[in-house]
A and B are shown apart, each in its own frame.
Chain A
Amino acid sequence: MFGGVNDTATSNTTSHQVVLPFYGYASLAYLAATLLLVFSSNAFTGHYFHPHILAITHIMALGWGTMMILGASYQLVPVLIERKLYSPVMAQISFVLAGLGIALLCYGFYVFDMGWPAQYGGWLILFSVLLYLLNLAISMSKSKEENVHAFFVFTATLWLLATVTVGLLLVYNFTHQVLSHGSLDYLPVHAHLGIAGWFLLLVIGVGSRLIPMFLISKYSHPQMLWWIYGLINGGLLSFIGFFLYSDNRVWLLLSVAAVAAGLVLFALFCFRSYQQRIRKKVDDPMQFSLLSVLMLFLPLVFLVVIVLLLIFDPAGNTVFVTAYGFVILFGWITAIILGMTFKTLPFIIWNKVYHLLAGKQKTPNSKDLFNESVFKWMSLAYLAGFVLFCGGILSQNQIVLHAAAVLLLVSSVLYNWNVIRLLLHKPAVL
């Protein structure tokens, strides 16, 4: 009656010892970034190419976004590809390399020393990404079925490798003439390799699996996901081509349109999953994650404005570029991490603490392991801080920027409070 009886699924989860350091590092990086934001909020009234803004950007993109995604994906990739992670040791080495590298690189940016701190930092990050890619490739090669989610994750990692490689070249270009133009000229390519190639593909690849799973939704549409995959990769490749080889900036709108079409399809995918959910009540972390899908459209609006300004008034776009970067890193990426942390981390901790106690005593549900009211206050502080800071950048108002930075710092303190509470959780007797 029931074929293929086995127990392969019971021992293939990646150990919490591999995953938790990434969560811890990312949480501290968010705290560090918001702390620097408070002390450097004035920098946001000037040009975006400012050492403190560069440091905050890389703490957010690498220390916060990338470290969290690497950690979560070491846990989730086996679920996506239905195969065990090839090497937990390689994953741990990738953590050490990235952890050291990000700290060095961000220090280099903060003091604007493009010598050994930024260069060694860049190399360490590159080696870490190579290890991650290799681990992923070997794990996926053992997977028997073609899986659209796995394609998203693997392609995203290739784009991450490209982002880091270009980034390292840009660092060297400050002290040696490696490229034909100055580093600032290549920033849009470097940034969009990371934003659309790494973050967007990764978040859609993993999100399109997790959102229906957490909503307990019947919805599935691999063909739509393949379209999204094609549109975003096509948009990014055409953007690189147009940017490097065409002086006519109008063409860039075509790339933006392709990515926008991909985003609309992804939003539709999420909406259909939501409509067809079996679990009617959507919890707070999940609501936050769904909000982040809507927040994806905010950078798109800024991007269209930036491209139009590039065509008509190239000198007038710096405020919008700063706002664009902010709504991506502190908006969309932060919102999805704030939400998903409290969907994924509680069950990792539950597994660590209760997996041998299950069935022997009453155990709490995973959502009971963090404080929901602290989560609510964190969400409020974050949303208020985010909206105010955007307003501060656009109005170039230092008081608003400073107040907003304090609110974001409050959100990161509350976030860390809940994460530490989870990491230190001891078995509760019910």
Chain B
Amino acid sequence: MNVITNNQLKATVALAALQDVVDPEIGLNIVDLGLVYQIDFDEANRKVYCTMTLTTQFCPMGESITLAAKEALKACFVGDEAIVELSFDPPWNHEMISETGREFLNNQ
């Protein structure tokens, strides 16, 4: 997975936290599903920015998944403000699923 970030070390921690956020229909976490595009940190103002997408723009689970991502980041970086934004450019496609995600879906 190619997640853009301005702080590789903290992004690794953030992605680990986001792996707890699971699409309830598919059963796969949003990181391996390829929904997370970018994670940036504003150290001075204690903010975490996450840009992510959904499998489809009007995904009925969209609100739950973005709220869950926000909660996961808040719990990971206590005291920081977590801002989750959606982007559909580029739109999600199946190639974005990680190898781990594909293995999971193969064996599910």
Looking at A62-70, A358-366, A379-387, the stretch in contact with chain B turns out to be A358-366
Task: Out of B4, B56, B63, name the residue touching A213 (CB < 8 Å).
Answer: B56
Is there contact, CB below 8 Å, between B86 and A8? Answer: yes
Is B48 in the interface zone, CB < 8 Å from A?
no
Is there contact, CB below 8 Å, between B66 and A351? Answer: no
Task: Out of B24, B59, B75, name the residue touching A9 (CB < 8 Å).
Answer: B59
The docked-state distance in angstroms from the alpha carbon of A388 to that of B53 is 49
Least CB distance from A287 to B in Å reads 14
B20 closest partner in A (C-beta): A359
Task: Out of B21, B61, B62, B105, name the residue touching A278 (CB < 8 Å).
Answer: B105
Is there contact, CB below 8 Å, between B86 and A6? Answer: yes
The docked-state distance in angstroms from the alpha carbon of A395 to that of B79 is 74
Is there contact, CB below 8 Å, between B24 and A365? Answer: yes
A362 closest partner in B (C-beta): B20
For the complex, count residues of A whose C-beta is within 8 A of B.
42
Task: Out of A5, A278, A366, name the residue touching B86 (CB < 8 Å).
Answer: A5
Chain B positions 57 through 81: 1 when the CB is less than 8 Å from some CB of chain A, otherwise 0: 1111111111111111001000000
Chain A interface, >50% SS class = loop
Given known A-B contacts A75-B60, A358-B64, A365 and B22 have beta carbons under 8 A apart: yes
Is B108 in the interface zone, CB < 8 Å from A?
yes
Is there contact, CB below 8 Å, between B58 and A351? Answer: no
Is there contact, CB below 8 Å, between A278 and B97? Answer: yes
Is there contact, CB below 8 Å, between B86 and A9? Answer: yes
Contacting residues, chain A, for B27 (C-beta < 8 A): 365, 367
Is there contact, CB below 8 Å, between B59 and A366? Answer: no
Is A155 in the interface zone, CB < 8 Å from B?
no
Within 8 A of B (CB), among A395-420: none
Task: Out of B22, B66, B107, B108, name the residue touching A10 (CB < 8 Å).
Answer: B66
Is there contact, CB below 8 Å, between B56 and A79? Answer: yes
Contacting residues, chain B, for A363 (C-beta < 8 A): 24
Is there contact, CB below 8 Å, between A216 and B64? Answer: no
Within 8 A of B (CB), among A349-385: 350-351, 354-356, 358-360, 363-367
Is there contact, CB below 8 Å, between B60 and A348? Answer: yes
B95 closest partner in A (C-beta): A218
Within 8 A of B (CB), among A1-25: 1-13
Task: Out of B67, B87, B102, name the residue touching A355 (CB < 8 Å).
Answer: B67
Least CB distance from B84 to A in Å reads 8
- Return 23 A-B CB contacts under 8 Å, by A number: A1-B37, A2-B89, A3-B87, A6-B87, A8-B86, A12-B58, A13-B58, A13-B63, A213-B56, A214-B25, A216-B105, A278-B94, A278-B105, A281-B108, A350-B61, A351-B60, A354-B64, A358-B21, A359-B72, A363-B24, A365-B25, A367-B25, A367-B27
Q: With A13-B63, A358-B71 given, can you name 18 additional A-B contacts, CB distance below 8 Å?
A: A2-B37, A6-B85, A6-B86, A7-B86, A9-B59, A11-B63, A13-B58, A79-B58, A79-B60, A82-B56, A83-B58, A218-B94, A347-B24, A350-B24, A351-B64, A355-B63, A360-B71, A367-B27
Nearest 4 A/B pairs, CB to CB: A359-B71, A359-B68, A358-B68, A3-B89
